[in-house]
Structure 1
Amino acid sequence: MAGGTSLWFSADAKSDPKQIFNGRLLYLLVTVAWAGCFYGFDSGNIGGILTLPSFERAFGLSSLDGAELDRRKGVIAAMLAAGASAGALLAWPTSDTLGRKWSVFLWGLVFVVGAAMQMVANYKVLLAGRFIGGLGVGASSMLSPQFLAENSPKSVRGSFVAVYNLMIVTSLMVAFFINYGVSLWKTDASNNTQWRTAMGIQLIPGVLMCLMIPFVPETPRYLINHGKSEKGLENLTKLRKLPADHVYVQTEYQEIEAQVRSEQEARSGHGVWAIIQDILLVASNRRRFFLAVMLFLFHKFTGTDSLNYYAPSIFGLLGVEGNSTTLLDTGVYGAVKVVTTLFYVGYLVDRIGRRRPLIVGALIQATSMLYLAIYIRFAPGKSADSVGGTPAGGIVGIIFIFLYAFGWSFGHSVACYVVAAEIFPTRIRSVCMAFCFFVNWIVDYGITQATPLMLSEMGWGTFLLYSLLTYAGVVFVYFCLPEMKGRSIESMDDLFQRPLWTMWRHAYPKEEDKVRHDVQEMMHEEVDIGKVTASHIEVARS
C-alpha cells in the first residue's frame, strides 16, 4: 500500500492502530493514483513521438523546416498544458459541488475522450484532442492529490500523495522506452501504427480509473464541511476500519469539526465571495496561498518540462548521435526518476519530511543545470576522447542529467503537490489548489511552447537561467517552508499564525504541534472528566 515501506520507518505510523492500513485504503490509493499516468504518459511520449518519421508525415511536419517546424512542434506539445491550465480552474467548482469523488470520475472521462481524439491523423483534431485531454489532466492533477490527502492517515499522508507523483514518473519512464521500442520498428513512414502505439498507451489508465472510482467512498472532510457530519463520520470509520468511538477516529473527526466551526464562525457559507474573503482577509490563509503558489513557480523554473518534453533534443546538444540512442538515454533518465521517487515515497517523505529533501534535491538540480550551461557554452566539439561519437564532456553532461533526475525526484517533483494538498482548510482547499495548478500548467504551457526556440536562440543560456532560478528557490524554501511531516491537516491553522519569513525558526514540529490546540484541550478535558467520574463511581461503590 502507499507508504507501505514508510510503515517500517515512520515512528508515527508505528504508533498508529494497524487497522487504519487496510485493503479499502489501498484500493482508494490505486484508483486515484492512476490519474498520475495521464500527465506522465503524455509528457514522456510526445517529445519522442514528434521525432518519429511516421508522425511527421501524418501531420504534415516532414515538409516544414527551421522556425516553422519548431513552432508547430511547440504548439502540439504545449496544447495539452493549455488545456490543463483551464482544467485546473474548472476542477474547483466541480470539486465543491459534485464532490471530490464524482469530480475525479467526470474529468477522467474528459481525459479519455481527448486521448481517443489524439489517435486521429488530422492536425486540427490532434490539437483539439490534446486540449480536451489536457482539461482532464489539469483537473486530475488538482483533484487527485486533494482526494488522497483528505483520505489518508496523517502518518503516511506524504507517501500517499507522493504515489500520485510516482505514477507520473513511472508512466514517464514507460513512455520513454515505448518511444525507443517503436523507433526501432522497420516500418514505412506512411504506416501510422508506429506513432499510434506510443500515443494510445495513455488510454489504459484513464479507462481503469473511470471503472474503479464509483466504488471509492467520498472524502469525510468534504462531507463534514458540507453539513453531512454523520455520513462523514461513517465514511471515516469505513476508511479507518475502527469504531466511531475509537480515540483515533474521534481525534481526527473532532479536528475536522473544529476547523469547520472555526470557518463558519468567521464567515458562513461556501459561496465564491466567502471563499475569496477567507483567502485574502485571513492572514494565515494568505500566507499558505502565497507559499503554495511560490512552490509551484519554483517547481516549474527548474526546467523539468524542457527536459521531459525535449530530452532527445537536449541529449543531442551534448553530442549524442542517432534518434534511437537519444531515446534510449531518455529512457534511462526516466528510470532514474522512478527509482529515486520510490525511495522518496517509501522512506524520505514521512520519515525525513518534505523540507530537507527539497533543499538537497534542488541544490543538485541547480548544479546539474549549471554544468550543462557551462559545457554547452565551451564545448570544443568532437575529439579523440569521444565515446560512441559523444565527447567526454558530453558523457559527463549525460551523468549530470541523470543526477538532475535524482535530485528532482525527491525535491521539486513531489513537494509542491504534497504541501498544497495538506496546508489549506477544507473550505478553501479546492480554490487554492485550483489556482496553484493553474499556475503550474500555464507556466508549463509557456515553457513547453518556448523551449524549441529557447534551445535554438539562447542555447546554453537556457540552462543557466534554470540554474539561477533553482538556486533562488532554495533560499525561499529555507526561510519560508516549515516541515509538514506528522502534523494533522487541521493543525496547519495554528502553524500559519506566524509570519511566513519566520517559518525557518519553527520548521520542525514538537509533539504538541501535531494536533490542533483547541482539540487537544478538549480531548484532555474529556479524559480528565472521565477520570473524575470513574473516581466518584469507585468512591460510591466503596
Structure 2
Amino acid sequence: MAGGTSIWRSKDAKTDPRAIFNPRLLYLLVTLAWAGCLYGFDSGNIGGILTLPSFEHAFGLSELSQTEMDKRKGTIAAMLAAGGSAGALCAWPTADFLGRKWSVFLWGLIFLIGAVMQMVADYDVLLAGRFIGGMGVGASSMLSPQFLAENSPKSVRGSMTATYNLMIILSLMLAFWVNYGVSLWSYQGVEHDSKQWRVAMGIQLIPGALMCLMIPFIPETPRYLINHGKAQQRLRNLIKLRKLPVEHPYIQTEYQEIEAQVRCEQEAHQGHSVWVVIQDIFTNKSNFQRFFLATMLFLFHKFTGTDSLNYYAPRIFELIGVSGGSNALLTTGVYGIVKFVTTIFYVGFLVDRIGRRLPLLVGATLQATAMLYVALYIRFAGDKTSDDSSSGPSPGGIVGIIWIYVYAFGWSFGHSVACYVVAAEIFPTRIRSICMAFCFFINWIVDYGITKATPLMLTEMGWGTFLLYAILRCRRDLWTMWRHAYPTEEEKVRHDVQELMLATRPEKVNDDDLEKMGDDAIHVEKAEA
C-alpha cells in the first residue's frame, strides 16, 4: 500500500529520481521522529523511577501503607496516559486549523512545560505535570505519523511513518538502561538525593527541546495546503521538499495526484465543518470500514498487554523468579534491546515489502503463545519460584524470560508499528485528522485504564492477567478485517483521479501557480538520472 518494498529493496524507490531522497527529507524525518521519544522515554522510565528509594523518599511514598503506595504509584504512572487521551482529541482541531507543522510545535511546547513540572518534588505538581506533558505526547502521537505520511514519497511512506515507532522503541530501550544505571548509584545518602530520580526523569526534555527547535524549518504538508486552498504555498513546498524543478515529471505527477484526490473528496462532500466530516465518516461505507479497522487495530494494540510490560516489567520479571532491584532492571533492559532490534528489522526491511497484515498475524501468534506460557508457569510454579527467588529463576523461569523476549519480538514485528502506519495512510485527507484523533484517543484512554489497573490485576488475578492477554490475542475477527479496508490491485487504481489528471495539462501546472513560485522554483537543480 505504501508503494512496494523498503527503500533498500524497492523497485519504486530505485526508479524514483535520486534527488527526492535528499537532506531535506532526512531533516524532516529526524524532526518528526523526535516526537516518538516523548512517548518512549516516559513509558520506559516511569516504572523504574517508581522503584527508586530516592523517588519514594522525595514524594513521601515510603511513609504510606503498601496499599496506599500502590494506589499512588498507579496514579502517577497512568496520569500521562490520561493527558494523552485528551491531547489526541485536542490535536485534531489544531491540525486542521493551525496546520500540521505549527500544531506539532505548539504541542511540543506544552509537553516541555509538563516535563519541567515533573521535576518538582511535590505530588500534586507531579500529577499536573504528567497530565500536561501527556497532552503533548498524545497530540504528537497523532500528528507526527500524519505529518510523515503526507510529506513522504510514496515509495518509502511506510518506512518513514514507521520510523516514529522506531524512535519510541529506541527511547524506551534507553530509558530502561538509564534506570538501570541510576539504580547502581551506591554512595552514602543516595536514597535521599533527588538527583537520582531527576536524572532519569529529565532525559525526556532533550528530544522535546530538539523537536521544538527543528520544526520551524520544515515545510507544511502540500496535502494540507491544497485541501485549504493555499495556492501560493502548495507547489513551492513540494518543490523544496523533493528538490526537483517544477517541470519535472515526478513533481507534475505527484502534485496532480494530490490535487485530484483532494478535489474528489471535496466534491463528494462540500465543506470542512465537524458535522460534515462526521457524516463523511459514518455515511460513507468505505470510510466507515476504514475507520472501524483503524480503531480496532489500536484497541487490540493495547490489549496485547504491552503497557503492563512497559510500565511494570521489573515486577513481572520478579513474578517468574528474577530477584528485585538492579537485576530486574537489567533483565528489563535486555527486553528493550530485543524490541529495538526487531523494530529496526521491521522498519528497514519488512514494512514496505510484505505489507501490514502478515506481520500482524505472526506477531499476534507469538504474543499469545508467550502470554499463555507465562500464565501457566506462574499458575503451577509461581509459588515455588517466589519462595526461592534469591537463588535466581528456575529452568522454567528462564524459559519464561525467553518467552517474554519472544513476546517483545512479536509485538515489535506486528502491533508496534502496523496500526500507526495503517491509520496514517488509509484515510482520505479531509477526514484523516479527526479519524486519527479518535484512534489515538482509544490508544491513550485504554493505556490509562491498563496502566492504572495492572498493579491490582497482578495482585488479585496473578497468572490470570497473562491468560487474559493470551485470549485477547486470538480474536480471529480482527485478522479478517483487512479485507474491508485494504483494496485489491484493481481497486487501488483511482479512476476518478486518473480522469482528473488527464483532463489537466500533464506537462505543466497552472500558469498562475508558476508566476507565484518565482525564479527559485523554476531553477531548482535537476535530479540525477
TM norm structure 1: 0.89
Deviations 1:43-90 (A, max 9, x none): 000000000000001111111233222111100000000000000000
Matches within 5 A, 1:469-484: 469-472=472-475, 475-481=476-482
- Unaligned 5+ residue runs, structure 2? 509-529
Q: Aligned partners of 1:247, 1:277: CA distance in 2, in Å?
A: 37
Aligned CA distance change for structure 1 residues 514 and 361 (closer, same or farther; 3 Å): same
Q: Deviations over 1:487-538 (max 9, x none)?
A: xxxxxxxxxxxxx2xx6xxx5753x6555222334556779999xxxxxxxx
What are the within-5 Å matches in structure 2 for residues 326-475 of structure 1? 326-379=328-381, 381-382=384-385, 388-472=391-475, 475=476
Q: Which of 244, 247, 266 is matched with 1:245 structurally?
A: 247
Deviating more after overlay: 141-150 vs 224-233:
224-233
| Identity of matched residues, % | 74
1:179-194 to 2 correspondences below 5 Å: 179-187=179-187, 188=189, 189-194=191-196
Please name the residue that 1:110 is paired with.
110
Distance 1:455-1:528 versus aligned 2 partners, 3 A rule? closer
- Please say if residues 85 and 439 of structure 1, whose CA atoms lie closer than 8 Å, have aligned partners that are also in contact: yes
Deviations 1:247-289 (A, max 9, x none): 3222222222222222222222211111111111111111111
Q: Secondary structure at the match of 1:217?
A: coil
Structure 2 CA distance, aligned partners of 1:448 and 1:441? 10
1:377-409: CA deviation from partner (whole Å, max 9, x where unpaired):
111614999995211111111001100110111
Which amino acid in 1 is paired with 2:445? Answer: I
Number of aligned positions between the proteins: 502
CA contact (8 A) 2:321 2:389 kept: no
* 1:46–1:77 CA contact under 8 A, matched in 2: yes
Counterparts of 2:30 and 2:152, CA distance in 1: 13
SS, match of residue 310 in structure 1: helix
**What 5-or-longer segments of structure 1 have no aligned partner?**
483-499, 531-542
Deviates more, 1:262-271 or 1:17-26: 262-271
How many Å separate the matches in 1 of 2:368 and 2:250?
42
Distance 1:107 1:421 in 2: 19
Amino acid aligned to 1:36 = G
* Change in CA separation of 1:247 and 1:517 when aligned onto 2, cut-off 3 Å: farther
Note the alpha carbon deviations across 1:158-178, whole angstroms, 9 max, x for none. Answer: 110111001000000000000
Q: Does the 8 A contact of 1:381 with 1:391 survive in 2? A: no
8 Å CA contact 1:318, 1:398 repeated in 2: yes
Conservation of the 8 A alpha-carbon contact between 2:314 and 2:324 = no
On the 8 A contact 1:385/1:392 being kept in 2, the answer is no
Q: Distance in 1 between matches of 2:63 and 2:276?
A: 55
Contact 1:383 1:391 in 2 (8 A): no
* Contact residue 79 and residue 127 of structure 1 kept, 8 A: yes
Q: Within 5 Å, which residues of 2 pair with 1:17-416?
A: 17-187=17-187, 188=189, 189-379=191-381, 381-382=384-385, 388-416=391-419
Could you report, residue by residue, the CA deviation over 1:24-45 in whole angstroms, capped at 9, with x for unpaired residues?
Answer: 0000000011000001000000
User: Displacement of 1:469 after TM fit?
Assistant: 0.6
- What's 2:7 paired with? 7
User: 1:325/1:385 Cα in 2 relative to 1: closer, same or farther (>3 Å)?
Assistant: closer
Give 1:349's aligned amino acid. Answer: V
Higher relative CO (Cα under 8 Å, sequence separation at least 6) belongs to 2
Give the superposition deviation at 1:243: 2.4
Contact 2:260/2:500, CA 8 A, preserved across alignment: no
CA 426–525 in structure 1, closer or farther in 2 if over 3 Å, else same: closer
Partner amino acid, structure 2, of 1:55: F
**Contact kept in structure 1, 2:249 and 2:507, CA below 8 Å:** no
Q: Is the 8 A contact 2:83 2:135 kept in 1?
A: yes
Per-residue CA deviations over 1:215-251 (Å, capped at 9, x if unaligned) read 0000000000001234212211211122233332222
**What corresponds to 1:536 in structure 2?**
none
**What CA RMSD, in Å, does the superposition of the two structures yield over aligned residues?**
2.2
Equivalents in 1 of 2:351, 2:49: separation in Å? 34
Distance 2:173 2:293 in 1: 30
Is the alpha carbon distance of 1:283 and 1:508 closer, same or farther for their aligned partners in structure 2, counting shifts above 3 Å? Answer: closer
TM-score (norm 2): 0.91
Deviations 1:456-515 (A, max 9, x none): 00001100111111111xx23431115xxxxxxxxxxxxxxxxx2xx6xxx5753x6555
1:56–1:509 CA distance, 2 compared to 1 (3 A): same
Taking the aligned partners of 1:199 and 1:462, their CA distance within structure 2 comes to 29
Q: Aligned equivalents of 1:481 and 1:406: distance in 2?
A: 22
The letter of the residue matching 1:520 is: Q
Question: Which residue of 491, 497, 501 corresponds with 1:519?
Answer: 497
Q: 1:325-376 deviations in whole A, cap 9, x for unaligned?
A: 0000000000001100000110000111211111111111111111111111
1:228 to 1:88, Cα distance in 2 relative to 1, 3 A: same
Question: CA distance change for structure 1 residues 367 and 345 in 2, over 3 Å: closer, same or farther?
Answer: same
